[in-house]
Amino acid sequence: MRLTNIAAPPPPAASGDKKSLTARLSLPDGTLSVGIGLILSGIGSVLFLRIVGSALDDRGTSQITALWFTTFALAPGLFLPLEQELGRALSARRALGQGGRPLLRKVVLLGACLAGVVVIATLAAGSWLAHSYFDRSWIMVIALVLAVASYAPVHLSRGICSGVGRFQSYAVVIGGDGAVRIVACIALSIVGIKSVGAFGFAVALAPLLGVIYIATRGQLKLDDGPPASWKEVTPNLGWLLLGSLMAAALVNAGPIAINVLASKDTSGHQLKTFFGKGVILARIPLFMFQAVQAALLPRLARLATSGEMFEFRRGFKRLMGLVILVGAAGTIGAFVLGPFVMEHLFKAVLSRQTLAILAFGSALYMVALAAAQAVIALHGHALVALGWTVGMVSFIVALLVQRNEAVVHRVEISLLIGSGAAMVSFLLALRSKLASGAEFDRALIVEAALDFPVES
């Protein structure tokens, strides 16, 4: 995700100018609102799985968990690039005083086509999905179709809000998704509804309410303007789409793989839900970093634009150090406190080893993400798409090679290998770009700073 409407940096000032320092340290418009929305979204993920686990039996909970991770492997991967490109193009038009309604029509058409392709593919695979993936539940297939269709307007609305600077509305869409989902599930639980379909539809339809709310307040209205060409909205769309799909698939690959490989009996249902909750717990540092980086990287963008490359490089090294520190703390915390938190928060059991490996994999993913953002800022969209693809392919290969290992061990090690492979790819790409003399693009730094595939 991203904010595109960042005010232009102030001109360089003389050394010692206090205003220059203040300008460098100030946050871009909307960072606080969006950061709060992101944190609420992360908290909402934890609470949602806690409520579902209390309301449904093991089979129903495993079905909802499968729907949850599949939705967030598909929807952000498909529609986040449209959000990015719409926001970028609207921001550019806004700077020129031009309306963006013709632009929106183009992107809506693209979104409808993407959603249509996925819906048709999902329905075509419906028999396998219902019987083998969702444990004989066609209602979950329908919920998945509705979820994919729902997130198309969600991401388009976020693109509008970021492109025209309506950041509070952007935060409402992000935070409202989790809040509505939790309220709906609490209501279902209080009423005593045990139907897995009802909870599935809560996952699928909850994001739309935030969009409807801001739409009724006129926050999605755009002025008319000059005709839009396809080039205006698709300069990097292909690479963004590939990279986004692979990144979203990799970060959600573990629970999806467990759902496919685990047995279909009661112990298998329990394993699926326990593992999914362990993945969410291991992602907590990732959610925290997501909010922090929204403030840090745009500051670095201003340094790069002002030509203060020494300060920029030092700041970026500090950011990488922060990533490593947060990742290490998360891994140690998962090993020491993970089983206790799992038992008391989720009423679930996973070994210290599994939780630590999941957290370490999440830490490697964080490093990969930070490096990928730097590569994007150096005009390396294709290299970023390649890096996430290398990570996803490495995960699949590792999963296939370990056929004789226990299911959980196969998946946790494969996640570690996939995230590590992506990280190495991006670090090598970054080194190559810097060695070739590539220069950081401030607009791309801002874009990269808030691009993030973790939505759950």
pLDDT in tens, 328-343: 999 999 999 999 999 9
Domain ends where: 205, 235, 265?
A: 235
Name every residue whose Cβ is closer than 8 Å to that of residue 111 and which is 6 or more positions away in sequence.
79, 82, 152, 153, 155, 156
Q: What is the pLDDT of residue 2?
A: 39
Same domain, 283 and 216: no
Q: Which domain holds residue 332?
A: 239-456
- Whether 349 maps to a domain, the answer reads yes
Same domain, 202 and 325: no
- Whether 229 maps to a domain, the answer reads yes
Place of tokens 């719409």: 86
Same domain, 358 and 423: yes
- Whether 409 maps to a domain, the answer reads yes
Domain ends where: 212, 235, 258?
A: 235
Q: What is the pLDDT of residue 445?
A: 58
Q: What is the pLDDT of residue 451?
A: 52
Same domain, 76 and 157: yes
Tally Cβ neighbours within 10 Å of residue 238: 13
Same domain, 288 and 405: yes
Q: Is the pLDDT reported for residue 91 higher than 90?
A: no
Same domain, 284 and 410: yes
- Whether 19 maps to a domain, the answer reads no
Q: Is the pLDDT reported for residue 312 higher than 70?
A: no
Same domain, 231 and 319: no
Same domain, 122 and 155: yes
Q: Which two tokens stand for residue 436?
A: 């070739």
Same domain, 274 and 343: yes
- Whether 11 maps to a domain, the answer reads no
- Band (pLDDT 50/70/90 cuts) for residue 258 is very high
Q: Is the pLDDT reported for residue 434 higher than 90?
A: no
Q: Which two tokens stand for residue 131?
A: 């019987």
Domain ends where: 186, 220, 235?
A: 235
Same domain, 227 and 244: no
Q: What is the pLDDT of residue 294?
A: 54
Q: What is the pLDDT of residues 396-432, one digit of tens each?
A: 999 999 988 899 999 999 999 999 999 999 999 988 9
Of the candidates 223, 224, 282, the one whose C-alpha atom is nearest the C-alpha of residue 251 is 282
Name every residue whose Cβ is closer than 8 Å to that of residue 265 and which is 6 or more positions away in sequence.
none
Q: Is the pLDDT reported for residue 440 higher than 90?
A: no
Q: What is the pLDDT of residue 290?
A: 65
Q: What is the pLDDT of residues 129-182, one digit of tens each?
A: 999 899 889 999 999 999 999 999 999 999 898 888 888 888 888 888 888 888
Q: Which two tokens stand for residue 24?
A: 């460098």
- Whether 16 maps to a domain, the answer reads no
- Whether 445 maps to a domain, the answer reads yes
Same domain, 184 and 200: yes
Averaged pLDDT for residues 26-41 = 59
- What is the tally of structural domains in the chain? 2
HEC profile for the chain?
CCCCCCCCCCCCCCCCCHHHHHHHHCCCCCHHHHHHHHHHHHHHHHHHHHHHHHHCCHHHHHHHHHHHHHHHHHHHHHHHHHHHHHHHHHHHHHHHCCCCHHHHHHHHHHHHHHHHHHHHHHHHCHHHHHHHHCCCCHHHHHHHHHHHHHHHHHHHHHHHHHHHCCHHHHHHHHHHHHHHHHHHHHHHHHHCCCCHHHHHHHHHHHHHHHHHHHHHCCCCCCCCCCCCCHHHHCCCHHHHHHHHHHHHHHHCHHHHHHHHHCCCCHHHHHHHHHHHHHHHHHCHHHHHHHHHHHHHHHHHHHHHHCCCHHHHHHHHHHHHHHHHHHHHHHHHHHHHHHHHHHHHHHCCCCCHHHHHHHHHHHHHHHHHHHHHHHHHHCCCHHHHHHHHHHHHHHHHHHHHHCCCCCHHHHHHHHHHHHHHHHHHHHHHHHHHHHHCCCCCCHHHHHHHHCCCCCCC
Q: Is the pLDDT reported for residue 5 higher than 70?
A: no
Q: Is the pLDDT reported for residue 102 higher than 60?
A: yes
Same domain, 190 and 118: yes
Averaged pLDDT for residues 383-391 = 95
Q: What is the pLDDT of residues 48-67, one digit of tens each?
A: 888 898 899 989 999 999 99
Q: What is the pLDDT of residues 195-214, one digit of tens each?
A: 999 999 998 999 899 999 99
- Whether 2 maps to a domain, the answer reads no
Averaged pLDDT for residues 274-299 = 74
